[in-house]
Amino acid sequence: MQVTDAGEISEFSFHKAVVRSRAKLAYAAVDRYVTGNSDELIAHTNPLEALVQVYRTLRGRREAEELVMEERREYRWILGEDKQIAEVDNFEKLASQHLVEECMIAANKCAAQFLQAANAPGPFVVHRGFRADRLDEAKTFFEKHRPALKDAPLDTVAGYRTILADLAQEDHGQPLREMVNRLLARATLTQKPGPHMGLATEAYTNFTSPLRKALDFFVHLQITACLAGNSAASYPVNRLADITRAIGRGREAVAAADRRLSARYLIKLKKAGQHRFSGHVSHISSSGFTVKLDENGLEGLVDLRPEKEKFSFDKWTMSLTSTTRRFQLMQSVEVDFVDAPAEGDFLALFKLAEGCGLKPQKETAAEAFAKTLAEATTASGQDARQEPAAAAQDESAPPPEMPGAAATESNTNSEATPEVSTEPSDNAATPSDAESTVTPTPPQ
């Protein structure tokens, strides 16, 4: 693979080969080396430095011309001897992990381009972006929140990238990037190449983990056949649907295991006296919302249906609103852990902490009148404090001349007498000022 200084993959080739591992490098050790905190891997300087440079150029180009997944806080579960969660660590993704991730994406893109050029029947990973049945809803969403995007094409890589990059900006006042997630499709496995909108690339597949992923193994089989001059299907094409279903089942199994482990950990914390948590709304629907805890990343349900107040759901703002409370996607909340019953598939249940989600109280008519009256009283007091200064200023000025007196004095005094204005000082309260003051009328 040849990578230019601008981060473009100018050329690549595939070869059937045997890989010999020269060293077993741990992510933590490579991260310490990459960040300059250790020289324990000094023997591997040349290849590591080359990888770091490749990573930076590839990443820079993807950030500028494609789409990069937004950074998220990572959580690591530390299990005890009983195979249950003993504690949860939160951490930032390591620089070494970013490095490997970027190189894997580059390799996957090359594999897809190779299969496409060989007219091979995949397998490809295709992400269509917006769901076909939600296109009109997506256009309405943009008209309401980002009119500048309403004419952007939803079915092209360039258009999708423009939209998602714009929504990810933090100056919209609302979490538009998260709000639009419900309109997006899942990636699918296909025999024909197609765009991967989520990465803003024209073709993509998974190639880098053939020892643990069936899809990646199938890609290796197909590339090996193409290298031998055979572009016909060399993997069980009819199993792509099975793999898709298996991936779904695997995802569900992981989620179920996560719920059980999370439930037991939260119950343990509650018994130890910790039941209140800070979190944010990670998903919202007409019946309530999912809360993700800031401290440990665990999730659970806040069901608002039993509440005395009735909430109305607005899909355009992804919010639930009652007479006194409002909850929106990504909003910070305080919750209390209640339970995670087995009959509920160990789903963690939370309730709102007292006062959580209260809307700012609107001023009543009487409060508005009192506020206006107080402001008027304050202004009148300021005017009154200014009157003595104005009076003192008037007393120090020469008295106004009387008719005739001026003429007499002017005949006996050769110096000109300064003119004295008979208008009140600018700082003094005048009758017109007092008359123009509007006295608020209390509401009926």
Model confidence pLDDT, tens digit, residues 266-284: 999 999 999 999 999 999 9
Note the pLDDT tens digit of each residue in 150-207.
899 999 999 999 999 999 998 898 999 999 999 999 999 999 999 999 999 999 999 9
Distance CA 210, CA 251 (A): 19
How many CA atoms lie less than 13 Å away from 11 in the CB half-sphere? 1
Residue 159 backbone dihedrals phi, psi, to 5 degrees: -65, -45
Instruction: Report in angstroms the alpha-carbon separations of 152 from 26, 162, 410.
Output: 44, 8, 85
Greatest CA span in the chain, whole angstroms?
A: 127
The answer to whether the CB of 224 falls within 8 A of the CB of 234 is yes
* Dihedral in degrees, nearest 10, Cα atoms 143, 144, 149, 151: -10
Identify the band that residue 412 occupies on the pLDDT scale cut at 50, 70 and 90. Answer: very low
Summarize the confidence of residues 317-324 as an average pLDDT: 96
Prior bond of 400 cis (ω within 30°): no
The answer to whether the CB of 55 falls within 8 A of the CB of 103 is yes
* pLDDT higher than 50, residue 444: no
Give the pLDDT confidence score for residue 385 in this predicted structure.
57
Note the pLDDT tens digit of each residue in 195-217.
999 999 999 999 999 998 999 99
DSSP symbol at 136:
H
Distance CA 145, CA 137 (A): 12
In the block, which residue shows the tokens 């995949």?
A: 122
Give the pLDDT confidence score for residue 406 in this predicted structure.
39
Domain 274-352: CATH class, spelled out: mainly beta
Distance CA 394, CA 387 (A): 11
Q: Reduced to 3 states, what is the DSSP secondary structure of residue 225?
A: helix
Residue 393 backbone dihedrals phi, psi, to 5 degrees: -65, -40
Instruction: Report in angstroms the alpha-carbon separations of 142 from 183, 198, 282.
Output: 12, 18, 21
Summarize the confidence of residues 431-441 as an average pLDDT: 36
The answer to whether the CB of 317 falls within 8 A of the CB of 180 is no
Could you tell me the sign of the dihedral formed by the alpha carbons of 187, 97, 207, 5, in that order?
positive
Query: Across all residues in the chain, what is the average pLDDT?
Result: 85
Give the pLDDT confidence score for residue 325 in this predicted structure.
95
Rounded percentage of the chain residues whose pLDDT exceeds 90: 66
- Burial of residue 415 (CB within 10 Å: 0-12, 13-18, 19+) is exposed
Identify the band that residue 361 occupies on the pLDDT scale cut at 50, 70 and 90. Answer: confident
Give the pLDDT confidence score for residue 379 in this predicted structure.
66
How many CA atoms lie less than 13 Å away from 414 in the CB half-sphere? 0
